Amino acid sequence: MAGTAQENSGARAVKSFRAFRIHEEDRKIAARFEELTLDDLSPGDVVVRVTYSGINYKDALAATGTARILRRYPLVGGIDFAGVVESSADARFRPGDAVLVTGCALSETHDGGYAEYARVPADWAIPMPQGLDARSAMALGTAGFTAALAVHLMERNDQTPQGGAIAVTGATGGVGSIAIDMLAARGYEVIAVSGKASAVEYLKSLGAARVLLRDDIDYGSKPLEATQFGGAIDNVGGKTLAWLTRTVGYRGNIASIGLAGGAQLETTVMPFILRGVNLLGINSSATPRALRLAVWQRIATDLAPRHLARIVTRTVDFADLPSAFAALIDGHNLGRTLVKIG
């Protein structure tokens, strides 16, 4: 339905706008601000005037070329955004509607949210849940949605506070910080796992009952170690995820989200066939619309973080976006970085 008269009648008012676009030039990544028109953007039914976005680890990898995230070039960066509908060829949306978009194929195969305007298929656009606005939605962003999706799927698989403490690894990142907040509010005992001794008070202020520093972990080598946790949300992968499979108790769920510590997983079948441990893969980008809507509804209600203002540790103007990626790549980032675009 992209390009119908209804959409174009609203779109004609948009002449040119600023976007942060990622190119591949001579086999190297080059990212820069450019002036674009709607004709330059990927096709879609809904044009959105973007007001806020955020910076995720994936965004930093893509913009700096540290990892090949984009599947085609050039593309506008940014895997999430929030704003107001400018025009729509889909009857579900009207000009002025507040919407958000996270994941889907943004900044992978489709132009993303680091632009003053974005265009997406209507099925990707989520009506702004009551109680959220563009700023708070992007304070959560993909990180918040991913954390909520992990909690939602764990609970759907019978995880309860009575089942024992939940370990959250990569705890100082956006997903980890929001997951701690959400879990603690739900009544779980949360054990934050981090390599940053300087962040102990920050993590406890979000609701962590205890902070386990990475250097103090005895990873062990047995197929099964003594039970330490009732479940886990893992942002690290590698030996950390392998350790969790050996230390999570009977029928506990491990939500596997990230691979900051490595993509390899060396474990045995023992945790799965003797303790019934469940390893849940979390892919927030490809979440079906019905599940996406349900999770966002929970984010606005029973999974609403209590300390979002504390989790957003930095807000940058759109013009300063390129200078903000290094902290995430270097591992110095704490919580969420918000990008003000509109």
CA angle 150, 228, 199 (to 5 degrees): 65
Helix (H) or strand (E) holding 53: strand 46-55
* 206 contacts 176 by C-beta, under 8 angstroms: no
Please report which confidence band the pLDDT of residue 28 belongs to, taking 50, 70 and 90 as the band edges.
very high
Domain membership flag for residue 138: no
- Give 337's strand partners: 55, 314
For the CA atoms of 114, 77, 151, 288, the dihedral, rounded to the nearest 10 degrees, stands at 100
Domain membership flag for residue 295: no
Nearest to 39 by CA among 59, 19, 22: 19
Q: In terms of domains, do 111 and 158 share one?
A: no
Domain membership flag for residue 51: yes
Q: Which residues contact 160 (CB under 8 A, 6 or more apart)?
A: none
Q: In terms of domains, do 10 and 107 share one?
A: yes
Nearest to 232 by CA among 332, 328, 147: 147
Domain membership flag for residue 299: no
For residue 322, pLDDT beyond 50: yes
Domain membership flag for residue 136: no
Q: In terms of domains, do 40 and 118 share one?
A: yes
The secondary structure of 266-287, three-state, reads CCCCHHHHHCCCEEEECCCCCC
| CATH, residue 333 | 3.90.180.10
* Least-confidence region, from 20-24, 64-68, 273-277: 64-68
Q: Record the tokens describing residue 32, joined without a space.
A: 């820069």
Nearest to 181 by CA among 196, 194, 171, 195: 171
Query: What is the distance between the alpha carbons of residues 153 and 267, in angstroms, rounded to a whole number?
Result: 23
Query: What is the distance between the alpha carbons of residues 186 and 150, in angstroms, rounded to a whole number?
Result: 13
Helix (H) or strand (E) holding 291: helix 289-299
Q: In terms of domains, do 156 and 123 share one?
A: no
Q: What is the mean pLDDT of residues 280-284?
A: 97
> Could you give the C-alpha distances from 180 to 36, 175, 177, 207, 335, in angstroms and in order?
40, 9, 5, 6, 11
Q: In terms of domains, do 201 and 178 share one?
A: yes
Q: In terms of domains, do 83 and 199 share one?
A: no
Domain membership flag for residue 134: no
pLDDT at 14 (0 to 100): 79
Q: Record the tokens describing residue 59, joined without a space.
A: 């965004």
The secondary structure of 175-221, three-state, reads HHHHHHHHHHHCCCCEEEEECCHHHHHHHHHHCCCEEEEHHHCCCCC
Q: Is the full-model pTM beyond 0.75?
A: yes
Domain membership flag for residue 333: yes
Please report which confidence band the pLDDT of residue 18 belongs to, taking 50, 70 and 90 as the band edges.
very high
Q: What is the mean pLDDT of residues 224-250?
A: 98
Q: In terms of domains, do 12 and 123 share one?
A: yes
| CATH, residue 179 | 3.40.50.720
For residue 3, pLDDT beyond 60: no
Query: What is the distance between the alpha carbons of residues 202 and 213, in angstroms, rounded to a whole number?
Result: 13
Number of separate domains in the chain = 2
- How many CA atoms does the CB half-sphere of 196 hold within 13 Å? 19
Domain membership flag for residue 251: yes
Q: In terms of domains, do 160 and 250 share one?
A: yes
* 68 contacts 96 by C-beta, under 8 angstroms: no
Q: In terms of domains, do 255 and 149 share one?
A: yes
Q: In terms of domains, do 178 and 120 share one?
A: no
* 331 contacts 69 by C-beta, under 8 angstroms: no
Q: In terms of domains, do 85 and 195 share one?
A: no
The secondary structure of 15-41, three-state, reads CCEEEEEEEEECCEEEEEEEEECHHHC
Q: Which residues of 266-284 are buried (b: 16+ CB within 10 A; e: fewer)?
A: ebeeebeeebebbbbebeb
- How many CA atoms does the CB half-sphere of 328 hold within 13 Å? 27
Average pLDDT in the chain: 95
What percent of the chain lies above the pLDDT cut of 70? 96
For residue 2, pLDDT beyond 80: no
Q: In terms of domains, do 122 and 206 share one?
A: no
Residue 191 sits in which domain range?
A: 143-281
